C-alpha cells in the first residue's frame, strides 16, 4: 500500500477515551532521553469490510521513564487524526481520534500506527485500547485489530537491533520481494542458520510506510551503521 507519509504528532501525548480529546499538561519527561536508541510501535488494522466506519479512538499508556510520549502516524493522507494530551508523573497516555475518509469507510487496511522512542529494551505499565464507531455511532470495535507493541527492527527477538536482524530482514526480502500492502496476518516463513522464522510483514515495515520493500532492508542497515554517535540514530517516523 503506497501512501503519503504523514507525521501527525511527535511529542504530545493524547487522552483518547472521549469523542473530542482535550489538551492538558504533560509530564516533564515527555521527550525521550538523548541516549534513546529504540523505537516501539503499535499498528492498528481495520480487519473487516463494509462496516461504514467513521472513526477509531486509540489509546496507548505506559511508564514514561526513559521514553517519549506516544506519537501517531496516519497511513493515508486523506484520513484525519485529531489529538489531545494528558500526562502524569512517570506515565504517558497517548492516542487520538482517527477519522476515516469516506472512500475508506468500507475497506480493510492498515489505518494508523503509534510509536515511542526509548532507551529501554522493555516497556512497563502498558495499557491500550481501540474503539471503532460507524457513521450512525454503532460500536464496531471488533473490526479493529491492535498489534502488541514491538521493538522496530528486533526481528530475532533478542531485545536489541543489530547485524543479526539485518541478516533476517535480508533473507525475508530474498524470499518475499516487494509487497505493496499487507494485512495483520500477512507473513513470510524461512529458515536461516539453525532457526525457523515465521514473521508478520508489519514487523518488517521498518520505515512505517505500509509496505515491505528493499527500502526497509536499507534503513535497518543504515540504523546499524550509525549507532556509534553521541546521539544514537533513531528510525524516522
158 lies in a domain?
Answer: no
- Picking from 151, 179, 203, the residue at the C-terminal end of a domain is 151
130, 216: one domain: no
pLDDT tier at 231, thresholds 50, 70, 90? confident
1 lies in a domain?
Answer: no
44, 99: one domain: yes
- Picking from 88, 118, 151, the residue at the C-terminal end of a domain is 151
Using only the alpha carbons of the chain, give its radius of gyration: 18
Distance CA 8, CA 80 (A): 9
135, 198: one domain: no
- 36-95 pLDDT, tens per residue? 999 999 999 999 999 999 999 999 999 999 999 999 999 999 999 998 656 677 889 888
208 lies in a domain?
Answer: yes
142, 178: one domain: no
Dihedral over Cα of 233, 122, 151, 59: its sign: negative
Distance CA 114, CA 118 (A): 14
Question: Based on the structure, what is the number of domains in the chain?
Answer: 2
83, 108: one domain: yes
Which DSSP state fits 212?
Answer: B
Give 96-162 as a DSSP string: EEEEPPGGGTTS-EEEEEEEEEES-SS--S-EEEEEEEETT--B-GGGEEEPPPEETT--SSSSS-S
Q: How many CB atoms lie within 10 A of CB 10?
A: 14
- Picking from 100, 121, 151, the residue at the C-terminal end of a domain is 151
Q: For position 40, which CATH number holds?
A: 2.60.40
101, 182: one domain: no
137 lies in a domain?
Answer: yes
108, 140: one domain: yes
186, 98: one domain: no
79, 191: one domain: no
237 lies in a domain?
Answer: no
11 lies in a domain?
Answer: yes
- 118-169 pLDDT, tens per residue? 999 999 999 999 999 999 999 999 999 999 999 999 999 999 999 999 999 9
User: By residue range, what is the domain housing residue 170?
Assistant: 163-225
- Whether the CB-CB separation of 106 and 132 falls below 8 Å is answered with no
124, 195: one domain: no
104, 175: one domain: no
202 lies in a domain?
Answer: yes
Give 165-211 as a DSSP string: HHHHHHHHHHHH--BS---TT-EEEEEETTEEEEEEHHHH-TT-SSS
Q: Give the pLDDT score at 232.
A: 86
For the chain, percent of residues with pLDDT exceeding 70: 86
233 lies in a domain?
Answer: no
100, 177: one domain: no
Average pLDDT, the chain: 87
Amino acid at each position: 500500500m503506497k501512501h503519503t507519509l504523514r507525521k501527525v504528532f511527535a511529542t504530545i501525548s493524547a487522552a483518547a477515551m472521549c469523542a473530542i480529546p482535550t489538551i492538558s499538561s504533560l509530564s516533564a519527561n515527555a521527550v525521550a532521553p538523548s541516549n534513546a536508541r529504540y523505537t516501539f510501535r503499535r499498528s492498528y488494522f481495520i480487519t473487516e469490510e463494509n462496516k461504514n466506519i467513521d472513526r477509531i479512538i486509540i489509546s496507548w499508556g505506559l511508564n514514561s521513564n526513559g521514553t517519549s510520549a506516544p506519537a501517531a502516524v496516519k497511513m493515508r493522507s486523506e484520513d484525519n487524526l485529531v489529538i489531545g494530551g494528558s500526562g502524569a508523573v512517570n506515565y504517558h497516555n497517548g492516542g487520538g481520534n482517527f477519522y476515516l475518509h469516506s472512500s475508506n469507510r468500507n475497506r480493510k487496511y492498515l489505518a494508523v500506527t503509534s510509536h515511542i522512542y526509548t532507551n529501554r529494551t522493555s516497556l512497563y505499565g502498558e495499557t491500550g485500547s481501540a474503539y471503532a464507531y460507524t457513521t450512525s455511532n454503532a460500536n464496531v470495535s471488533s473490526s479493529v485489530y491492535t498489534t502488541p507493541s514491538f521493538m522496530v527492527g528486533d526481528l530475532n527477538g533478542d531485545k536489541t537491533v543489530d547485524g543479526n536482524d539485518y541478516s533476517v530482514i535480508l533473507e525475508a526480502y530474498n524470499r518475499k520481494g516487494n509487497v505493496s500492502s499487507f494485512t495483520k496476518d500477512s507473513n513470510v516463513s524461512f529458515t536461516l542458520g539453525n532457526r525457523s522464522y515465521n514473521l508478520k510483514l508489519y514487523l518488517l515495515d521498518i520505515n512505517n510506510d505500509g509496505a515491505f520493500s528493499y527500502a526497509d532492508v536499507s534503513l535497518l542497515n543504515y540504523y546499524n551503521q550509525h549507532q556509534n554517535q553521541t546521539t544514537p540514530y533513531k528510525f524516522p517516523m
